[in-house]
Structure 1
Amino acid sequence: MSFALIFSGQGTQHAAMLPWLAEDEHVAGMRERLGVHDWRRSLEDPAWAANNANAQTLLTGLALAAWGQLAPMVPPPAAVAGYSVGELAAFSTAGVFDTATATALAPPRAAAMDKSAAQMPGGLLAINGLAESALAQLRADTGLAVAIRNGIESVVLGGPTEALEQAQRIAEGEGGQCTRLKVNVASHTPWMREAAERFAQALADLPFQSPRIPLFSNAGDRVRDAGAARAALAAQIAQTVRWDECMENIAARQVRCVLEIGPGQALTRMWNQRYPAIPARACDDFRSATAIASWLRTHSDD
């Protein structure tokens, strides 16, 4: 059985996500850390859902809970990667640190980013359908940075709020499809450089291990040892998420299928468009953990 796990980032969290997820110690711990009784009801409040600290803590806790409930039914994955904050769950799954460390890292990561955001309010704008030359001109006109690179004509730009609004008007006028993500910080751009430095300090004294499973980073290609893991996890806060390269690295492992853990199907759609011969599904597509395990066995058995 050969499959890859990819962990979603924030921006598409919703109250109906992971409908099959059972209450367990990881979910309970996440709720306690957030101070909420019903996380689904909390997500119905757009302001609460978009809050950086809430989103990062919730998504990390739920992703680890989901994989914890699936893992006993399937063998270890052949490759792992996480999209933005999804790296916390990915690094834990690969054995770099335990689940308690991953969930404990979400709040200081968010706090470091919020501190930088307070100095420069901003956000993220997903743009699809513009040619590379048009995107380059758009960046030159607005001063925005590429926060996430999903493909040649699919990027997420980050920067100040006014510049994002200007970019959306221009891009839509040129036929681009735009979506403002449910985040309030310019993640993965130079505006987060101080946040990356603060998070690096938080990581400095934590015990990291070399990955036990092939692990691919947003900022540093394959992560092979503890030092590279520590550097990559901090660096991606202020550097472009090179998700296109993560997908290429996973495909090179010759996996037979891919499973997305997290909210929505955004990573699944990107994968299936790029690698239609290697099927991908999202956990949000299923109604039970047993059904997910069955799909993995059907599509990844040699």
Structure 2
Amino acid sequence: MPQTTHNDIKIAALFPGQGSHAVGMGVDLAAEFPHAEEVYAAKERTLPGLRQLVEVGPFDELTLTANQQPALVAASVAAYRAWQAHTGLTPMVAAGHSLGEYSALVAAGVLQLEDALRLTRKRGELMQQAVPEGVGAMSAVMGDPAVVAEVCAGSRGVVQPANFNAPTQTVISGEKAAVDAASTELKARGLKVIPLKVSAPFHCALMEPAAAGLAPDLHAAAYGPYAFPVIANVTAELNDDPKHTADLLGRQITGSVRWVETVRTLAELGVDVFIEFGPGTVLSGLVKRILPAARIMNVGSAEQIRSFTL
């Protein structure tokens, strides 16, 4: 079961997914904190050339999902390890948004960093290859998620909720024609729909080839004991059993990211403070929309670690 930190403040560690990347992310951490430098050195040993891409760009190449995924894992883990070494604190529980689940598992000691980097590099490659460009689409929908789910269920073709991000923000994903048709119906019901610029339709049935392709690697990886539990995206429930980890990561590729339920589960566990590790503040914003009174902090820079206090 979850454990408390040294001072009994219950911390939830959160790790972002795609879209939070930036050229230069984590460079100041690696320059100042040895634990972060070790992460960046391991990244370069495992995926040569990725460190330079993160440090100097170009941004378009870093944005490619096969580069962005392992780069974000490294940046998030670097922030977490530097923070932990500096503060001596340990979270009670962790969660990651989509790709961020891999970062959470590294933080919990379940996955070795090098394995996570290799897995997310291949995950990105397979996800990009799964659907030809222009065939899939994703859109953000503002409104009642029950209406979104109902419209998707009644649509022809592949379209399904991909991310339940906030109480009134759900992302749908699938075949472009099906997403367009569902979007038209959702607008007719008074919901706001915003097409997203994405390289592939993530978290839907069209990603099945990617899930099948990654399955052997997921099941071949070594999973150690959990230092603290991690909430799985596809169940929004705690997992601390290494035997279930590969299956949960595999199901995540085609399944919905149940972020609203995840954050509410964390609240039910009595979390006192949510800390987002890594670049950006996307998850902090989502948590605030789900739990307006939540205490949220960000750890993504050397300055934020130096000035950290609970």
TM-score class, shorter: 0.7 to 0.9
The corresponding residue for 2:34 is: none
Structure 1 consecutive aligned stretches of length 4 or more whose deviation exceeds 4 Å:
16-20, 162-173
CA-to-partner distance for each residue in 1:48-106, whole Å, 9 max, x for gaps? 24311011121111111111211112311011011001111111111212222211211
1:59 corresponds in structure 2 to 72
Residue 219 in structure 1 maps to residue 229 in structure 2? no
Matched, 1:7 2:15: yes
Aligned partners of 2:162 and 2:203: how far apart in 1?
Answer: 5
1:79 aligns with 2:93: yes
Mapped contact 1:108–1:199 kept (Cα < 8 A): yes
Stretch moving more, 261-270 or 241-250: 261-270
Other-structure match for 2:285: 269
Alpha-carbon separation, structure 1, partners of 2:11 and 2:58: 30
- CA–CA separation in structure 2 for the residues paired with 1:243 and 1:104: 25
> Are the equivalent residues in 1 in contact too, given 2:145–2:170 (CA < 8 A)?
no
2:34 is the alignment partner of 1:26: no
Q: Calculate percent identity across the aligned residue pairs.
A: 23
CA shift in 2, pair 1:235/1:19, >3 Å: same
Rounded to whole Å, the distance in 2 between the matches of 1:250 and 1:232 is 18
In the other structure, the counterpart of 1:90 is 104
2:138 equivalent to 1:114:
no
Give a deviation string over 1:149-190, Cα, whole Å, max 9, x none. Answer: 124432111113454456556656745152515x31222111
Q: Which runs of 5+ in 1 are unaligned?
A: none
- Out of 184, 187, 203, which is 1:188 matched to? 203
Report the TM-score when normalising by structure 2. 0.82
Which amino acid is the alignment partner of residue 122 of structure 2? P
State the match for 2:151 in structure 1: 137
How large is the RMSD of aligned CA atoms in angstroms?
2.8
1:16 Cα deviation from its structure 2 partner: 6.4
Paired positions, count: 291
SS of corresponding position for 2:109? coil
SS at match of 1:211: coil
Gaps of 5+ in 2: 1-8, 32-36
Aligned residue type for 2:70: T
Distance 1:284 1:172, change over 3 A: farther
1:247 is matched with which residue: 263, 267, 276? 263
Query: Structure 1 residues 16 and 136, CA, compared in 2 at 3 Å: closer, same or farther?
Result: farther
CA distance in 2, matches of 1:189, 1:134: 15
Given that residues 13 and 264 in structure 1 are in contact (C-alpha distance below 8 angstroms), is that contact kept between their aligned partners in structure 2? yes
Q: Distance in 2 between matches of 1:16 and 1:129?
A: 36
